Every structure is written in C-alpha cells, then in structure tokens.
Structure 1
C-alpha cells in the first residue's frame, strides 16, 4: 500500500514507519523538520510540512491508500493542535478518493466504569492532562464528522512503553483493557503493528478502538 504518515519523527510515529516499511508499504512521511528524520529507505519519501499545510501533502494523499496521523501537541504547546488537525484531515480527505484514516489516539477517554474515564482518576498525572484532554476533543471531532472518510481512532493501553515486538495484542472498544493482574499496557512496536493491522479491517471503520495485552 501507499501510505502518508504524519508524525514519523515521534516515538510512536517512528515505530509505525518502521513497521510499515517492514511490511512492504510505500511511505510518504510528512514532517515539520526533515533533518529530524534520520531513516532512509527506497520506499520512503520525506516531505517537509504539517497537517495544516494541506497544499504540501494533498497531492501525495490523493495517490495513497491511507493516511496515518501520529501527531502530538507537545512541541508547540497548544491543545488545539489535535482537534484542529483531526478536522483538517477529515475536511481535506472528504474531497478526495482516499477514504482511510488511522489516528493515534490517547487512553485518557477510555472508560474504567460506566461514565468514568481514565482521565477522571484522581491519580492521573496533572502533566498529562492537557494532551489527554486534547485527544478527547479530537475523538469528539471524529464522532461528530459527516465526512466520507473511514477513520479509526486507536487508543493505546494506559501504559505504552518501549519493549519487544511480540505480534500479540487484544482489541477492545471504549473500555480500558487490563490483563489478569489489572494492568493495562502495550509495547510501542506492538501498538504500531496493531494499528497497521487495521488498514483493511472494515469492522473498525468509523470507530474508536483500543489495543493492549
């Protein structure tokens, strides 16, 4: 497949890039600073730009099979980045033949009980709240959208960390997945694999899912 990937210089985005190339996909990585992406590969094309600069990447998206967004508001410090980017992608892709969009979401909006989210936990770190709230707003944008785009919002486990790729994971919906010990976690390489497994999965079209061990 031909993929357009935003956020390939980030930790999760880079893992998605590595996994996509390992699977034989052609990737156009759209990054704010090309110098920050050290990877080289015959099937990797790098474009300098950002989601809001649609004129810089739209031509590539029109010839792609899917767009993947692994972006973060951390670098510019504004929580509007994520919901605005979600809206821009939905509005822009709605006018093209490309209909598949995968979004790297957050875990904060997952439910731990009916009506209670991870973000509601008093132990949730204050430093993480702005980004978690931004991801929640982005999810609201997707759910309210009338765009003809088959999006999937993919929330990780409560803890996503470095680790070995096992190829094993479970898929859930809006509820936080925990293991037999009550722990919710996944390694970054397995999250990347789980995300790319959704490219052709019609069961996850226009839904939020979560992946964890």
Structure 2
C-alpha cells in the first residue's frame, strides 16, 4: 500500500516507518527535517502549515498516518494541523487518516477519562487537552479517520508481537500498569492498516 507518514522522524514515527517498510509498503516519510529519514525511503519536507501543500504530498496515497507532535510551548498547534490534514484528505479523496493520539482521553472508569480523573500529571495536561480538541475535530468530520491512543506509558522497548486492543478504554495489566512499546504500537498500527477494524472511531492499545 501507499502510505504517507507525517512525523516520520519522531519517537513513534521512526518505529512506524520501520515496521511499514519492513512489510513492503511504499512509504513517503514526511518531516520538518528529513536528514534523519533512511536514504532508501522517499522523504518529503513539509511543516503542515498549508492545506494545498499537504494535499500535494498525500495525493494518490491509500492511507495517511499522522505521528505529528506539536511544540511543547504550543500544543494547540495540533488542532490546526488536524484541521488542515482533514481538509487535505477531503480535497484529495484519500481513503483514510490514522492519527497517533494520546492516552489522556481514554477512560479509566466508565465515563471518566484520564484527564478528568485527576491522575494525569499536570505537565501532561496541555498536550492531553490539545489531543482532546483534535479528537473532537475528527469526530465532527466526514472523512474516514482512526484515532489510535497508546497506553499510559509509551516508550522505547521491544517488538514482542503481543498487545491488547480496546476502543475508548485505557488498557492496563492486572497490576494496573498501562504500557506499550513504540515498537509494538507500530506493529499494531501496521496491522490496522492492512486489516481495517476500527474505521471512523477510536482505538487503544496496551499489554
């Protein structure tokens, strides 16, 4: 499949890029700085500031994956980026947008998100709130979207090939730990691209 990957040089983006290329997908890696993109991969420089530019990059793709991470001092940049990506997807007719989301929106109890629970550290509230706004924009759109939230701890690790999926719930183990490696997240995302099961909705993951 032809996949356009935004944020291809970031923590999750690098692993997603590797997983997709290892599976033989034709990936266009998009980043603000393309020097970190492997030479064997098509790289495009774009800062997601212009709808027409985004549309030019994604035209002809089967799937767009956004692993975009906004600046820490302006997390709401994510909101504008999401709006422009949706507009570009509509303009080009690309069939699917998958967004690497956040865990703050996931429910830790029925109807209670991690944000609302009071357990989310204050330092993470700005980005979690921006993700909440971005998800609202996706829900209000008429494109085919998937918002894929990681576990509470999303970090470098191993590609174990094992994971559990949910939808709007935070996935945790019997000890209450909510974790997933970048590598297993990338594996699950590639699985979802190849066998869509969560279109127009949320998806969560953990061990």
Q: TM-score range by the shorter chain?
A: over 0.9
Partner of 2:7: 7
Counterpart check, 1:33 vs 2:23: no
Counterpart check, 1:52 vs 2:49: yes
Q: Aligned equivalents of 2:115 and 2:195: distance in 1?
A: 28
Q: Aligned equivalents of 2:30 and 2:109: distance in 1?
A: 38
**What's the secondary structure of 1:46's corresponding residue?**
strand
* Equivalent residue runs for 1:53-202 within 5 Å: 53-74=50-71, 77-145=73-141, 147=142, 149-202=143-196
Q: Aligned equivalents of 2:4 and 2:32: distance in 1?
A: 14
Unaligned runs of 5+ in 1: none
Structure 1 residue 95 displacement after superposition? 2.2
**What's the secondary structure of 2:145's corresponding residue?**
strand
Structure 1 residue 38 displacement after superposition? 4.4
Report the aligned-residue RMSD.
Answer: 1.5
Q: Aligned equivalents of 1:210 and 1:123: distance in 2?
A: 18
8 Å Cα contact 1:30/1:57 also seen in 2: no
Q: Aligned equivalents of 1:202 and 1:29: distance in 2?
A: 21
Q: Aligned equivalents of 2:130 and 2:21: distance in 1?
A: 29
Most deviating of 121-130 and 152-161: 121-130
- TM (norm. structure 1) is 0.91
Q: Aligned equivalents of 1:91 and 1:55: distance in 2?
A: 9
Structure 1 residue 117 displacement after superposition? 1.2
8 Å Cα contact 2:54/2:88 also seen in 1: no
Deviation string, structure 1 residues 73-107 (Cα, Å, up to 9, x no partner): 126x2122112111111111112231111100000
Residues 4 and 18 of structure 1: CA distance in aligned 2, closer, same or farther (over 3 Å): same
Aligned length in residues: 207
- TM (norm. structure 2) is 0.94
Partner of 2:206: 212
**What's the secondary structure of 1:208's corresponding residue?**
strand
Unaligned runs of 5+ in 2: none
Extract structure 1 runs of 4+ deviating beyond 4 A: none
Structure 1 residue 55 displacement after superposition? 3.4
**What's the secondary structure of 2:197's corresponding residue?**
helix
Residues 56 and 92 of structure 1: CA distance in aligned 2, closer, same or farther (over 3 Å): closer
